[in-house]
Protein backbone atom coordinates (compact mmCIF):
# COMPACT_ATOMS: atom_id res chain seq x y z
CA UNK A 1 0.00 0.00 0.00
CA UNK A 2 1.49 3.28 -1.07
CA UNK A 3 1.45 6.45 1.03
CA UNK A 4 -1.42 8.14 -0.87
CA UNK A 5 -3.75 5.12 -0.47
CA UNK A 6 -2.84 4.85 3.20
CA UNK A 7 -3.75 8.52 3.79
CA UNK A 8 -7.08 8.05 1.95
CA UNK A 9 -7.95 5.07 4.14
CA UNK A 10 -7.08 7.10 7.24
CA UNK A 11 -9.27 9.99 6.05
CA UNK A 12 -12.21 7.63 5.39
CA UNK A 13 -11.74 6.02 8.84
CA UNK A 14 -11.79 9.43 10.51
CA UNK A 15 -14.93 10.41 8.60
CA UNK A 16 -16.63 7.15 9.64
CA UNK A 17 -15.77 7.75 13.29
CA UNK A 18 -17.57 11.10 13.18
CA UNK A 19 -20.44 10.13 10.87
CA UNK A 20 -21.39 6.83 12.52
CA UNK A 21 -22.98 8.40 15.65
CA UNK A 22 -24.96 10.80 13.47
CA UNK A 23 -26.25 7.94 11.32
CA UNK A 24 -27.22 5.93 14.42
CA UNK A 25 -28.95 8.97 15.95
CA UNK A 26 -30.84 9.60 12.70
CA UNK A 27 -31.95 5.96 12.54
CA UNK A 28 -33.15 6.04 16.17
CA UNK A 29 -35.04 9.25 15.48
CA UNK A 30 -36.76 7.69 12.46
CA UNK A 31 -37.71 4.70 14.63
CA UNK A 32 -39.19 7.17 17.19
CA UNK A 33 -37.09 5.67 19.98
CA UNK A 34 -36.38 7.61 23.16
CA UNK A 35 -34.44 6.55 26.22
CA UNK A 36 -36.68 5.41 29.10
CA UNK A 37 -35.39 8.03 31.50
CA UNK A 38 -36.64 10.81 29.21
CA UNK A 39 -40.17 9.45 28.80
CA UNK A 40 -43.10 10.59 30.87
CA UNK A 41 -44.89 7.93 32.84
CA UNK A 42 -48.08 9.94 32.58
CA UNK A 43 -49.88 11.00 29.43
CA UNK A 44 -49.09 14.54 28.34
CA UNK A 45 -52.23 16.63 27.83
CA UNK A 46 -51.92 18.25 24.41
CA UNK A 47 -52.57 21.14 24.43
CA UNK A 48 -52.49 21.86 28.17
CA UNK A 49 -55.99 22.79 29.36
CA UNK A 50 -56.51 25.94 31.38
CA UNK A 51 -58.69 25.20 34.39
CA UNK A 52 -57.69 28.29 36.38
CA UNK A 53 -61.07 29.94 35.72
CA UNK A 54 -62.82 27.13 37.62
CA UNK A 55 -63.30 27.92 41.30
CA UNK A 56 -63.00 24.66 43.26
CA UNK A 57 -64.65 24.45 46.64
CA UNK A 58 -62.62 23.10 49.54
CA UNK A 59 -64.36 20.74 51.95
CA UNK A 60 -62.50 22.27 54.86
CA UNK A 61 -62.60 26.03 55.43
CA UNK A 62 -59.34 26.61 53.55
CA UNK A 63 -59.29 28.62 50.33
CA UNK A 64 -58.18 26.66 47.27
CA UNK A 65 -57.40 27.86 43.76
CA UNK A 66 -55.86 26.10 40.77
CA UNK A 67 -53.63 29.11 40.17
CA UNK A 68 -51.23 29.00 43.10
CA UNK A 69 -49.51 32.15 44.29
CA UNK A 70 -46.82 30.15 46.09
CA UNK A 71 -45.80 28.46 42.81
CA UNK A 72 -46.76 24.93 43.88
CA UNK A 73 -47.65 22.08 41.55
CA UNK A 74 -50.81 20.09 42.31
CA UNK A 75 -51.17 16.33 42.23
CA UNK A 76 -54.91 15.78 41.89
CA UNK A 77 -56.45 12.38 42.60
CA UNK A 78 -59.71 11.75 40.77
CA UNK A 79 -61.59 8.77 42.25
CA UNK A 80 -64.30 6.77 40.54
CA UNK A 81 -67.86 6.35 41.86
CA UNK A 82 -67.02 4.36 45.00
CA UNK A 83 -63.94 4.87 47.15
CA UNK A 84 -63.08 1.58 48.86
CA UNK A 85 -59.80 -0.26 49.54
CA UNK A 86 -58.00 0.51 46.25
CA UNK A 87 -58.98 4.16 46.49
CA UNK A 88 -57.74 4.39 50.08
CA UNK A 89 -54.44 2.84 48.94
CA UNK A 90 -54.06 5.59 46.30
CA UNK A 91 -54.65 8.26 48.95
CA UNK A 92 -51.88 6.69 51.04
CA UNK A 93 -49.66 6.52 47.92
CA UNK A 94 -50.13 10.26 47.40
CA UNK A 95 -48.98 10.96 50.94
CA UNK A 96 -46.00 8.69 50.34
CA UNK A 97 -45.14 10.51 47.09
CA UNK A 98 -45.19 13.81 48.98
CA UNK A 99 -42.85 12.49 51.67
CA UNK A 100 -40.45 11.01 49.09
CA UNK A 101 -40.12 14.38 47.35
CA UNK A 102 -37.93 15.49 50.33
CA UNK A 103 -36.70 19.06 49.68
CA UNK A 104 -39.12 19.51 46.76
CA UNK A 105 -42.15 18.57 48.88
CA UNK A 106 -43.08 22.16 49.85
CA UNK A 107 -43.52 22.88 46.12
CA UNK A 108 -46.16 20.14 45.80
CA UNK A 109 -49.68 20.10 47.10
CA UNK A 110 -52.02 17.14 47.12
CA UNK A 111 -55.73 17.30 46.39
CA UNK A 112 -58.50 14.77 45.93
CA UNK A 113 -61.59 15.55 43.87
CA UNK A 114 -65.21 15.01 44.91
CA UNK A 115 -64.67 12.68 47.84
CA UNK A 116 -66.12 13.02 51.31
CA UNK A 117 -63.71 14.58 53.79
CA UNK A 118 -64.57 12.49 56.82
CA UNK A 119 -62.73 13.29 60.06
CA UNK A 120 -61.04 9.88 59.85
CA UNK A 121 -59.71 10.57 56.35
CA UNK A 122 -58.55 14.05 57.28
CA UNK A 123 -56.68 12.63 60.27
CA UNK A 124 -55.20 9.76 58.28
CA UNK A 125 -54.20 11.87 55.26
CA UNK A 126 -53.46 15.37 56.62
CA UNK A 127 -51.69 16.68 53.51
CA UNK A 128 -54.68 16.10 51.21
CA UNK A 129 -57.02 18.95 50.30
CA UNK A 130 -60.55 17.64 49.73
CA UNK A 131 -62.11 19.71 46.99
CA UNK A 132 -65.09 19.62 44.66
CA UNK A 133 -64.97 20.99 41.15
CA UNK A 134 -67.17 20.90 38.10
CA UNK A 135 -64.42 21.65 35.54
CA UNK A 136 -65.20 19.69 32.38
CA UNK A 137 -61.54 18.81 31.81
CA UNK A 138 -61.35 17.15 35.22
CA UNK A 139 -64.72 15.42 34.97
CA UNK A 140 -63.57 13.86 31.68
CA UNK A 141 -60.70 12.20 33.56
CA UNK A 142 -63.00 10.65 36.17
CA UNK A 143 -62.85 6.83 35.89
CA UNK A 144 -66.12 4.98 35.31
CA UNK A 145 -65.10 1.86 37.26
CA UNK A 146 -65.88 1.71 40.96
CA UNK A 147 -62.98 1.85 43.42
CA UNK A 148 -60.49 3.18 40.88
CA UNK A 149 -58.48 6.39 40.90
CA UNK A 150 -56.98 8.45 38.10
CA UNK A 151 -54.52 11.26 38.72
CA UNK A 152 -53.58 14.55 37.10
CA UNK A 153 -50.77 17.07 37.49
CA UNK A 154 -51.68 20.75 37.40
CA UNK A 155 -48.98 23.40 37.10
CA UNK A 156 -48.86 26.56 39.26
CA UNK A 157 -50.57 28.61 36.53
CA UNK A 158 -53.65 26.35 36.59
CA UNK A 159 -52.88 24.32 33.46
CA UNK A 160 -53.71 20.61 33.33
CA UNK A 161 -50.40 19.14 32.13
CA UNK A 162 -50.27 15.37 32.77
CA UNK A 163 -52.83 12.68 33.39
CA UNK A 164 -52.49 9.17 34.74
CA UNK A 165 -54.96 6.43 33.93
CA UNK A 166 -56.43 4.25 36.71
CA UNK A 167 -53.91 1.63 37.79
CA UNK A 168 -50.99 4.04 37.42
CA UNK A 169 -47.64 3.35 39.05
CA UNK A 170 -47.03 5.64 42.04
CA UNK A 171 -43.27 5.46 41.47
CA UNK A 172 -43.80 6.75 37.94
CA UNK A 173 -45.87 9.66 39.26
CA UNK A 174 -43.10 10.55 41.71
CA UNK A 175 -40.53 10.33 38.92
CA UNK A 176 -42.53 12.67 36.68
CA UNK A 177 -43.07 15.12 39.54
CA UNK A 178 -39.39 15.16 40.44
CA UNK A 179 -38.60 16.09 36.83
CA UNK A 180 -41.21 18.85 36.78
CA UNK A 181 -40.48 20.44 40.16
CA UNK A 182 -37.07 22.07 40.20
pTM of the model as a whole: 0.78
Is the confidence at residue 34, as pLDDT, over 80?
Answer: no
How many independent structural domains does the chain possess?
2
160-172 tens-digit pLDDT: 999 999 988 888 9
Distance CA 71, CA 58 (A): 19
Residues 21 and 56 in one domain: no
37-62 tens-digit pLDDT: 667 788 888 898 888 888 888 877 67
Residues 126 and 61 in one domain: yes
Residues 29 and 48 in one domain: no
Given a contact cutoff of 8 angstroms between Cβ atoms, the answer to whether 149 and 86 are in contact is yes
Is the confidence at residue 36, as pLDDT, over 70?
Answer: no
Residues 5 and 62 in one domain: no
Is the confidence at residue 12, as pLDDT, over 90?
Answer: yes
Domain ranges, residue 9: 1-33
Q: Which of 121, 125, 114 is nearest to 56 (CA)?
A: 114
Residues 100 and 59 in one domain: yes
Percent of the chain with pLDDT over 70: 98
Amino acid sequence: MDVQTKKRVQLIAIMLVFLAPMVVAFALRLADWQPNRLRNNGILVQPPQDISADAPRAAVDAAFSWKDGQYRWTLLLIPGPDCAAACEKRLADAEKIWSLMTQKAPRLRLAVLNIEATPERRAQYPRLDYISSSAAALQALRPAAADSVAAAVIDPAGLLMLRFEPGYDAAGVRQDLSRLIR
